[in-house]
Amino acid sequence: MSVLSVWMTVAARGADPQAYVTTIRATGEGDLDAAISSSSDLLALQKTQAVSPFALAGRIRNEYDRIRTALESFGYYAPIVRIEVGMRPGKGAPAGPMFDGRDPRLPEWLLSVPKGQNVQIIVTPMRGEMFRLGRLTLQRAPQDGPGEVVLNTPEATALGLRVGQPAVASDVLAAATHLQAELKEEGYALGAVAPPKAWLRPETHTLDLVFTVRRGPVVDIGAITLTGLKRVHPSYIARRLTIRPGMLYQPSRIEAARQDLASLGVFSDVQVRDVPPLTAGDSMPLDFGFTEGKRRMVEVQGGYSTDLGGRGGVSWTHNNIFGNAEKLRLTALVTGLGGSAQQGLGYDVYADLMKPDFGSRNQNLSVRVEGIRQLLYSYRQTALLVRAGLVRRLGRRWTVSYGGQAEQEQIDQMGRTNDYTIVSIPLAATYDGTGVSNPIDPATHGVRLALSATPSASLVNGTSFFTILQANASTYFDLTHLGLSRPGRSVLAFRGIIGNVQGASTFDIPPDQRLYAGGSATVRGFRYQGVGPQFPDSKYAIGGTSMDAGSFEFRQRLFRSFGAALFADAGQVGTSSRPFEGTLRVGAGAGVRYYTPIGPVRVDVAVPLNRPARGDTWELYIGLGETF
């Protein structure tokens, strides 16, 4: 063979991709092993980007630095990285000689590997001694004037670091970020902390750090500009802002103001940025930039249970009808599509208007006009209702509401038709300590509490007065606190409801104002209004003046998007004003969940454990979100 043909053969082989298999030996530290694997080019590219033997030799040489960097980031600054390359043994074939990854003969050997033969690469990272933090020093930047070392203590609390802790790179970088955030929170809007300078001390296995800090002047908030507003009135946003020029510049306060504006529901995005340079008096101008969201929205609603049947309809919402974030919502629903507690089709048509910051900040005006027709087995109702009230937030967790309501209705019960005019003053307070902003999202901890009192007057055949009192509480416990599961995967949920009517007996109250139990809101396994006194020889509920119910539920997430639940409910309805009277009914069941971006889709099946005469043998409930 001529010299030319040999050269052409080698050149051709050098252009062919060389397949290989990488093995990274464990260090015994799980997080470190994961970091090494994610930083390895040999491992990441072995299946997707095959290269020629020459390029593979270069990839192996570069791997040393990548693995070493991963080790150093965990505090191992004197590691040893060994990479061995050899022929991958076949079935029954012994392994050949192994080459060091830095061996100058490696490229030539890779060229000699027969085409189609895999190469075996073994990476062995050895941690060596853990380095720990030694001397910690803060020094002024030259712009802040003379003075070098301003802090050199064993406990550098401003950094969140301590002498002797492992010299983990992420902790060191996070300390600089934390210190810079603290400076800005104290009003140093131009405060900056440079990446630390580090000195290795191999003799003591320590790492000395020097952080250079620039503070600059203490800064106030300057002029505030609003950009991007098109249909939202700037005057309303200016009144809504929780910050004002002249206040101390604090990023947390500025961010809270941004989030507050974003919560109005009329913007798809709200951003705030500094507008340097500083103005007279060391003030930092700010600009709030807004992207307005869609003003109109159409939604489709639906749900099903074997007791109330199916319900479905459509809602149309205008999110900024008058330019001050007012929301108008029009809804039309068809109800009673089948169902063991229904006698026929009904409807629920209503218009809601919500005006934020009515009279004062965090106080919203809510107005509803509603028409209802429902053909329940217990009664048939056609009603027109008008309600107006104020909803006021008291801090992050408490909300109170109060207002007035008028209702004109016609009710047919057991062949007797009556007209009622009812006026009432609903009063309510709610507490939510779950930290869940979207009520559809499942809670995993905390307590929810709802209290209501509704003084009412019925203006038919003389005036009768009565007051409906009700309390509803639920709490949630994550089994991760017992070490039994990962956070949010296994949750126990408890609910309790108690209510009574003061001032009138059962038959002095319009049927729709009486208390009922049964269904997903109280006792599953019984149809709506299926718990409590009934008219003789029928399944028509009378209703009562006292009611109590309790629920227990175990919720378990399965895989990524599925879940399951086991539950038991119990409750009773009585005809006196004292709760805990009547026949106690108990139901139990199970369900599945499918978790979507807007909340879990719920399917529950429940059975009664002590079914009354003419009661259903089982119930099915389908809806969005958990029952409580």
Instruction: Report in angstroms the alpha-carbon separations of 456 from 396, 426, 531.
Output: 30, 8, 25
Pairing of strands 192-193, 416-424: unpaired
Predicted local confidence at residue 145, as pLDDT: 63
- State the maximum Cα–Cα separation within the chain, in Å, rounded to a whole number: 122
Mean pLDDT in runs of 10 for the chain (628 residues)? 40 70 94 95 88 93 95 94 88 69 92 88 95 90 62 56 91 90 91 91 94 91 96 95 96 96 94 93 95 94 90 95 96 92 92 95 95 94 97 93 97 92 97 88 95 93 89 97 93 97 92 94 94 88 95 95 97 90 95 92 96 90 92
Neighbour tally for 16: CB within 10 Å:
15
Predicted local confidence at residue 3, as pLDDT: 37
Predicted local confidence at residue 340, as pLDDT: 85
Domain at 220-292: CATH architecture: Roll (3.10)
d(CA 199, CA 205): 11
Sign of the torsion formed by the C-alpha atoms of 152, 157, 163 and 166: negative
Contact indicator for 460, 518 with CB cutoff of 8 Å = no
Instruction: Collapse the DSSP code of 173 into the 3-class scheme (helix H, G, I; strand E, B; otherwise coil) and give the result.
Output: helix
Domain with CATH 2.40.160.50 in the chain: 422-624
Q: What is the CA radius of gyration of the chain?
A: 35
Contact indicator for 626, 556 with CB cutoff of 8 Å = no
Instruction: Report in angstroms the alpha-carbon separations of 2 from 9, 28, 113.
Output: 11, 54, 22
Predicted local confidence at residue 152, as pLDDT: 43
Tokens (6 digits) for 475: 């709490």
Predicted local confidence at residue 115, as pLDDT: 83
Predicted local confidence at residue 441, as pLDDT: 87
Q: Which residue has the tokens 């965090």?
A: 362
Neighbour tally for 539: CB within 10 Å:
18
Predicted local confidence at residue 599, as pLDDT: 87
Q: Which residue has the tokens 């043994």?
A: 89
Q: Which residues contact 395 (CB under 8 A, 6 or more apart)?
A: none
Predicted local confidence at residue 155, as pLDDT: 41
Contact indicator for 455, 465 with CB cutoff of 8 Å = yes
d(CA 113, CA 109): 7
Q: Which residues contact 355 (CB under 8 A, 6 or more apart)?
A: 322, 324, 326, 364, 365
Predicted local confidence at residue 94, as pLDDT: 53
Please name the fold of domain 132-214: Ubiquitin-like (UB roll) (3.10.20)
CA 592 to centroid of chain Cα atoms: 20
Does the 422-624 domain belong in CATH 2.40.160.50? Answer: yes
Neighbour tally for 403: CB within 10 Å:
18
Nearest to 538 by CA among 614, 433, 453, 612: 614
Domain with CATH 3.10.20.310 in the chain: 132-214, 220-292
pTM for this prediction: 0.73
Nearest to 304 by CA among 519, 494, 585: 519
